[in-house]
Amino acid sequence: MSTLEQIEAAILTLPSDEFEKLKKWFLDLDYQRWDKQLEQDVAAGKLEALGEEAIAEFEAGNCQEI
């Protein structure tokens, strides 16, 4: 049995309150990793083209207030 399979099996045996704590911890970890990746992408200039496109759309009047 692989480590992942062992983890999955252990999760299935958790009481509801512990499962909720694990779920919150996992989602928080996922958000932290996503934020870190986004910061790295911004620093590397990977989002420049998207920013320029958004500004061009705004300046062309192709935006609406939400």
Query: What are the residue boundaries of the structural domains of the chain, listed by start?
Result: 15-59
Tokens 């009481």 correspond to what residue?
Answer: 15
Predicted local distance difference test score (pLDDT) of residue 66 = 84
Predicted local distance difference test score (pLDDT) of residue 65 = 82
| pTM value surpassing 0.85 | no
DSSP 8-class letter at 14:
S
Read off the pLDDT of residues 43-65 as tens digits, 9 standing for 90 and up.
999 999 999 999 999 999 998 88
Nearest in space to 46 (alpha carbons), one of 34, 54, 55, 37: 37
Read off the pLDDT of residues 6-56 as tens digits, 9 standing for 90 and up.
999 999 999 999 999 999 999 999 999 999 999 999 999 999 999 999 999
